[in-house]
Structure 1
Amino acid sequence: MTITRFAPSPTGYIHVGNLRTALMNYLIARKAGGTFILRIDDTDPIRSKEEYVDALKEDLEWLGLHWDRVERQSERLDRYHDAAEKLRDMGRFYEAFETPTELDLKRKKQLNMGRPPVYDRAALSLDEAARDKLRAERGAGVWRFKLDQQRIEWNDGVLGDISIDAASVSDPVLIRGDGQVLYTLASVVDDTDMGVTHIVRGSDHVTNTATQIQIIEALGGSIPQFAHHSLLTGPQGESLSKRLGTLSLRDLRAQGVEPAALLSLMARLGSADPVELRTDMDALIDGFDISRFGSAPTKFDVNDLFPLTAHYLQGLDYQTVKPRIAELGVPEDLAPQFWAVARDNITTLGDLDAWWAMFRDGAEPVIDDEDAEFIVTAMTLLPEGPLDEGSWAAWTTAVKEETGRKGKQLFMPLRKALTGQAHGPEMAQVLPLLQVIRARG
């Protein structure tokens, strides 16, 4: 069975970068009829907050990404310590005591000598007496996994064949001096215990994947199928790292972005397939193929979400938006007509507020000086009695015959005088609705 996971750390709100990872893993699992695990990587007790756990669940539910089960790393600490003990017994885990300053000096020395800045394994030469002395002076050390210094190879679902020389990578720290189990060990133990078969994550994890493959092998696990998607940049290729905090899913939601728009963009962004609005999750699932994605940095422009949102809204029927329109105070008998008038002239549902305000309160007329006399004449020709969708044509025909104006010089001044705007819904629909609402007012 195909098993994937999304493993966020609850240290902040999830953003578009997190979503890309979550969505790819979700689509792979669903396409194969498999299992999608939401795993909360909360081994850091200081930075992990329960409010962020609740928020990320809410965000995923808003998008319709439903998990099959939830796992929490904070409830699995005994398993990580068991794995650590197994690695110690195998001679693959060792304690090191260098301070950050000492490590930095070592790296600088190696770079000056033209060597890779990797940990020199000095701690392996310490005898028990030396380790006891360092513990007494400095406290507990960190625990490093001893890599086999050979090439680590795998076929990546996005990047293709990968080969990394383990000798060019430092032995990874898996447990900090304060006893906190780090991501690299916890993730391997979880993926192994939970039978995870496919892992999609960012290309910044490639080196980390290499070390994890050796840890998985040391613990007797099966190697999942790894795929490393490209990292997102801004529309000009700039780094998004400093902006991701403003691109959280809840911020996008507050701006009126619809789930279908966000999912449609993120399911295709960076692939060889065009971005197309998909309003049905099954269509997204069926059309997803991880092998269609490229390795080059992928440009993300938040503005691309709004045309997709507008397209989505234009396809909604009245019953779907009825509760939102009711919140505006639109009379129920006029609400379907109001939606028919406004739907093609909004980008987000929030834009309905301004349109209803215009109908309800009237707009400040915009009348250019050269059109003042024309508007006075036109208003005297406005048909009496109830107006319908044919009234606009009848009115403008009469005005044309009286004034000689035609085309834009005829229609634009009338639109601006009635709505205060140069663009908007079809005036044939606007005119009768304006009459009814203002008559009630």
Structure 2
Amino acid sequence: MIVTRFAPSPNGPLHLGHAYSAVKAHDLARAAGGRFLLRIEDIDGARSRAELADEFRRDLEWLGLEWEEVPAQSTRLDSYEAAARDLMARGLLYRCTCTRAEIEALEPTIGPEGLIYPGTCKGKAFDPSRPSALRLNIEAALAETGPLEWEDERAGVVTADPRQFGDVVLVRKDAPASYHLAATLDDAADGVTLVTRGADLVFASHIHRLLQALLGLPVPRWHHHALLVEADGRKLAKSRRSGERGYGLAEMREAGEDGRIVAEKLRLDQIPHGISLSRYPPDGT
């Protein structure tokens, strides 16, 4: 059975890009007689707002989608801690006290997700008086797993290349887990078989495939869909307040627009409100 999910964070209102992703995941599951799940990813500290999760449910109902809700991330902290303890005991994590400014001062190389951490804290004693994150020692992890692959519905079989990210953070200084660790564990716990998300997250799948191998988790398939972009080519994003500038689902809903019509236009790639569809990255890798 195909199981997909939509997993928004309640740190800002949803926009048309979220709607596109939710409709894709919903329809892929329904077409195969599968299940479409809603998971609230609410471990982003003070930025997470419970009232927004209620707005998200109203947004999905307005779009005409049906879903099963699974436990929110805030109820799963024990599983993140257990996984981190396991990886730490195996020598695959190390503490890092570096700030972003300190990393930038080292003029590190740039990878798909931004700065590549140069490993400053690796193998060094850390200062317990400073906040620390836990980073994954990529080379040690790959020595344990060997070569890995994952399957994308658009790109086919992809060779995992987590080295391009450097030693990523798995437990943040300000949160009990990073996106990489939490989403990987949650998808396994929820039985997700088809991870459906935007093409901007295709790179994260390289890290998630590595974590699945390290933690003995089932391996889903992935479906990375196109992105909705504005006239300047930049994707809709909460960081750009896209949910509050005419593209927000709550805005549209409160203005009296018909959500089912909006959803149907998204299905047909007839994007409303002057937004266009980007095929980036064109090959899904």
Q: Which TM bucket (shorter chain)?
A: 0.7 to 0.9
1:63-212 equivalence runs, <5 A: 63-106=63-106, 108=107, 110=109, 118-126=116-124, 130-131=125-126, 134-136=127-129, 138=130, 140-147=131-138, 148=141, 153-163=149-159, 165-212=161-208
Contact 1:2 1:32 in 2 (8 A): yes
Contact 1:43 1:182 in 2 (8 A): no
Task: Determine if the alignment matches structure 1 residue 222 to structure 2 residue 218.
Answer: yes
Deviations along 1:19-68, one digit per CA (max 9) or x if unpaired, are 11111111111122222111000012301111101111111112221212
Pairs aligned (count): 265
Q: Name the counterpart of 1:33.
A: 33
Q: Distance in 1 between matches of 2:75 and 2:260?
A: 34
Task: Determine if the alignment matches structure 1 residue 12 to structure 2 residue 5.
Answer: no
Taking every aligned residue pair, what percent have the same amino acid on both sides? Answer: 34
Q: Pick closer, same or farther for the CA change 1:110–1:35 going to 2, 3 Å.
A: closer
Deviations along 1:192-233, one digit per CA (max 9) or x if unpaired, are 112110011111112211111101111101111111112111
**3-state SS in 2 of match to 1:135:** coil
Residue 87 of structure 1, CA deviation: 1.2
Structure showing greater Rg: 1
Residue 73 of structure 1, CA deviation: 0.6
Q: Distance in 2 between matches of 1:195 and 1:165?
A: 25
**3-state SS in 2 of match to 1:71:** coil
Q: Distance in 1 between matches of 2:188 and 2:132?
A: 27
Residue 110 of structure 1, CA deviation: 4.6
Q: Distance in 1 between matches of 2:90 and 2:267?
A: 43
Higher normalized helix content (fraction of residues): 1
Q: Name the counterpart of 1:61.
A: 61
Residue 243 of structure 1, CA deviation: 6.1
Q: Pick closer, same or farther for the CA change 1:110–1:201 going to 2, 3 Å.
A: closer
Residue 239 of structure 1, CA deviation: 4.8
Contact 2:88 2:94 in 1 (8 A): yes
Q: Distance in 1 between matches of 2:98 and 2:234?
A: 36
Which residue type is aligned with residue 206 of structure 2?
A: A
Q: Tell which deviates more after alignment, 215-224 or 83-92.
A: 83-92
Residue 16 of structure 1, CA deviation: 0.6
Deviations along 1:83-115, one digit per CA (max 9) or x if unpaired, are 111111222221112222221122x1557xxxx
With a CA cutoff of 8 Å and minimum separation of 6, indicate the structure with the bigger relative contact order. 2
Q: Name the counterpart of 2:274.
A: none
Residue 71 of structure 1, CA deviation: 1.8
Q: TM-score normalised to the size of structure 2? A: 0.83
Q: Distance in 1 between matches of 2:194 and 2:235?
A: 28
